[in-house]
């Protein structure tokens, strides 16, 4: 159980589309507005976890044309975000948006987020600590997972809010944007490769 909790902590702590976009919403719209977006990420991640646990994700993603289509859409969308971040210039641009992202946006991002499927598959198909009762093990894993997931995502949201409040020079801000864009692009590639390996 301790190994499972540690794996959850480090997998979520690693920057991915969910946490990076949470920081972006915090930077662009503030903590209160970003809370709805994080709620959407939370609901979306639990939907993905349910799909993985039930085996539906393996069935759906096992159909290669659909898997490739979903991976293509998610990769294109997340790279689009990375490009907008990288070319945001001297303005903080973790996530460019014309409107205040809300619950629906968070749910949608998680449903097309390759890292969400890869992480949930890795966590819920391994780290067996209660083999005599699968139901209790899954419920316990969900409780541990969410108990770690929620505060870490709120911390990323708060980090975005704090960056927005800093008085950075245009050059410093440009480098922040480039670093965030590069991180997001790298995570997207790694998550997509990981997902492709797990659903073969």
DSSP 142-155: HHHHHHHHHHHHHH
Give the list of residues 6+ apart from residue 151 with CB closer than 8 angstroms, or none. Answer: none
pTM: 0.73
How confident is residue 127, by pLDDT bands cut at 50, 70 and 90? confident
Residue range(s) defining the domain that contains residue 134: 2-198
Q: What is the pLDDT of residue 180?
A: 67
The pLDDT > 70 percentage for the chain reads 72
Q: Which of 71-75, 137-141, 159-163, 189-193 has the lowest mean pLDDT?
A: 189-193
Q: What is the pLDDT of residue 145?
A: 93
CB 40 within 8 A of CB 105: yes
Q: What is the pLDDT of residue 34?
A: 86
The count of domains in the chain is 1
User: In angstroms, rounded to a whole number, what is the distance separating the alpha carbons of residues 87 and 176?
Assistant: 11
How confident is residue 194, by pLDDT bands cut at 50, 70 and 90? low
User: In angstroms, rounded to a whole number, what is the distance separating the alpha carbons of residues 64 and 66?
Assistant: 5
Q: What is the pLDDT of residue 153?
A: 93
- Residue of 25, 69, 30, 17 lying closest to 165 (CA atoms): 30
pLDDT at residue 171 greater than cutoff 70: yes
Q: What is the pLDDT of residue 47?
A: 95
Number of residues that this document lists for the chain? 200
Cα 113 → chain centroid: 6
Q: What share of the chain is helix, strand, coil (3-state, %, to 5)?
A: 80, 0, 20
Interior angle at CA 15, CA 190 and CA 95, nearest 5: 105
Helix (H, G, I), strand (E, B) or coil at 129: coil
pLDDT at residue 113 greater than cutoff 90: no
How confident is residue 10, by pLDDT bands cut at 50, 70 and 90? confident
């Amino acid at each position: 159980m301790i190994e499972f909790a540690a794996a959850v902590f480090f997998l979520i702590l690693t920057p991915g589309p969910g946490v990076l976009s949470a920081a972006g919403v915090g930077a662009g719209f503030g903590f209160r507005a970003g809370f709805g977006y994080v709620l959407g990420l939370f609901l979306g991640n639990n939907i993905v976890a349910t799909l993985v646990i039930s085996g539906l994700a393996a069935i759906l993603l096992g159909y290669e044309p659909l898997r490739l289509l979903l991976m293509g859409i998610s990769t294109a969308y997340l790279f689009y975000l990375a490009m907008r971040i990288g070319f945001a210039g001297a303005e903080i641009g973790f996530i460019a948006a014309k409107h205040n992202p809300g619950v629906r946006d968070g749910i949608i991002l998680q449903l097309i987020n390759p890292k969400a499927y890869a992480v949930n598959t890795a966590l819920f198909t391994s780290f067996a600590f209660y083999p005599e009762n699968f139901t209790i093990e899954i419920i316990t894993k969900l409780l541990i997972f969410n108990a770690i997931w929620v505060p870490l995502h709120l911390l990323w949201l708060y980090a975005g809010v704090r960056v927005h409040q800093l008085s950075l020079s245009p050059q410093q801000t440009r480098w922040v944007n480039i670093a965030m864009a590069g991180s997001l692009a790298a995570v997207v590639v790694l998550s997509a490769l990981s997902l492709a390996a797990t659903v073969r």
